[in-house]
Structure 1
Amino acid sequence: MKPPNVAIMDIIIITPAGPESKAGNRATAVRWQQLLQQSGHQVAVETEYQGEQCDLLIALHAWRSANVIKAFKAAWPETPLIVVLTGTDIYHHQHEFPDVTYESMDLSDLLIGLHDLVAQDIPERYAGKLLTLRQSADKPAAFGGSRLEPGQFHICVLGHLREEKDSLRAAIASRHLPEHSNVIVSCAGKPYSDEWRELALQEGRSNPRFRWLGELNRPELANLVAVSSVMVISSVMEGGANVISEACRAELPILASDIPGNRGLLGDDYPGYFPAKDDRALADLMARAENDSEFLAELKRRVVELADTFQPEQERQSLERALALVVSADS
Structure 2
Amino acid sequence: MRRLSIAIATPAGRGSHKGNRVTAVRWAGHLRALGHHVVVAEGWDGRPCDVLVALHATKTHEAAVRWRARRGSAPLVVALAGTDLYEDLPDSPEARGSLELATRVTVLQRLGLARLPAEVRAKTRVIVQSAHPVSPRPPPEGVLQACLLAHLREVKGPFLAAEAVRCLPARSRWRVVHLGAALDRDAAERARAEMAGTPRYVWRGDRPRREALGVLAGSDVLLVTSRLEGGSNAVSEAIAAGVPVLSTRVDGSVGVLGPEYPGFFPPGDAAALAALLVRVEDEPEFLAALRRATAALRPLVDPAREREAWRALLAELAP
1:53 is displaced (CA, Å) by 1.9
Q: 3-state DSSP class of the match of 1:53?
A: coil
Aligned residue in 2 for 1:326? 317
Q: 1-side partners of 2:295 and 2:177: how far apart?
A: 23
Q: 2-side partners of 1:186 and 1:41: how far apart?
A: 39
**2:115 is matched by which residue type in structure 1?**
D
Q: 3-state DSSP class of the match of 2:207?
A: coil
Q: 3-state DSSP class of the match of 1:204?
A: helix
| Deviation readout 1:61-110 (Å, 9 max, x if unpaired) | 1110111100110111121000000000001111441x221110010000
Q: 2-side partners of 1:50 and 1:235: how far apart?
A: 33
Aligned residue in 2 for 1:208? 199
Q: How does 1:226-241 map to 2 (within 5 A)?
A: 226-241=217-232
Q: 2-side partners of 1:127 and 1:50: how far apart?
A: 29
| Deviation readout 1:202-221 (Å, 9 max, x if unpaired) | 10111111000111113422
Q: 2-side partners of 1:60 and 1:189: how far apart?
A: 21
Aligned residue in 1 for 2:96? 102
1:20 is displaced (CA, Å) by 1.9
**2:289 is matched by which residue type in structure 1?**
E
Q: 3-state DSSP class of the match of 1:211?
A: strand
User: Does 2:130 align with 1:136?
Assistant: yes
Q: 2-side partners of 1:94 and 1:45: how far apart?
A: 25
User: Does 2:268 align with 1:277?
Assistant: yes
Aligned residue in 1 for 2:18? 23
User: Does 2:258 align with 1:264?
Assistant: no
Aligned residue in 1 for 2:115? 121
Give ranges in structure 1 of 5+ residues lacking alignment: 1-5
User: Does 2:288 align with 1:297?
Assistant: yes
Aligned residue in 1 for 2:242? 251
Give ranges in structure 2 of 5+ residues lacking alignment: none
**What percentage of aligned pairs have identical amino acids?**
36
Give every structure 1 segment of 4 or more consecutive aligned residues whose post-TM-superposition deviation is greater than 6 Å. none
Two-structure CA RMSD over aligned residues (Å): 1.3
Aligned residue in 2 for 1:84? 79
Q: 2-side partners of 1:52 and 1:149: how far apart?
A: 51
Q: 1-side partners of 2:151 and 2:65: how far apart?
A: 29
Among 9, 15, 39, the alignment partner of 1:44 is 39
Q: 2-side partners of 1:223 and 1:314: how far apart?
A: 23
Q: 1-side partners of 2:43 and 2:107: how far apart?
A: 22
Asked whether the equivalents of residues 130 and 236 of structure 2 are also in contact (C-alpha less than 8 Å), the reply is yes
**1:231 is matched by which residue type in structure 2?**
L
Aligned residue in 1 for 2:106? 112
Q: 2-side partners of 1:162 and 1:50: how far apart?
A: 29
Q: 2-side partners of 1:73 and 1:43: how far apart?
A: 19
TM-score normalised by length of structure 1:
0.93
Q: 3-state DSSP class of the match of 1:197?
A: helix
User: Does 2:134 align with 1:157?
Assistant: no
Aligned residue in 2 for 1:195? 186
Q: 3-state DSSP class of the match of 1:255?
A: strand
Q: 3-state DSSP class of the match of 2:53?
A: strand
Aligned residue in 2 for 1:7? 2
Q: 2-side partners of 1:86 and 1:171: how far apart?
A: 27
User: Does 2:45 align with 1:54?
Assistant: no
Q: 2-side partners of 1:226 and 1:119: how far apart?
A: 31
Aligned residue in 1 for 2:173? 182
Deviates more, 1:146-155 or 1:60-69: 146-155
Structure 1 residues 220 and 50: CA distance shift in structure 2, 3 A: closer
Q: 2-side partners of 1:213 and 1:199: how far apart?
A: 13
Q: 3-state DSSP class of the match of 2:213?
A: helix
Structure 1 residues 219 and 101: CA distance shift in structure 2, 3 A: closer
Q: 2-side partners of 1:264 and 1:200: how far apart?
A: 30
Structure 1 residues 118 and 201: CA distance shift in structure 2, 3 A: same
Asked whether the equivalents of residues 148 and 229 of structure 1 are also in contact (C-alpha less than 8 Å), the reply is no
1:149 is displaced (CA, Å) by 3.7
Q: 2-side partners of 1:222 and 1:118: how far apart?
A: 26
1:148 is displaced (CA, Å) by 5.2
Q: 2-side partners of 1:46 and 1:309: how far apart?
A: 28
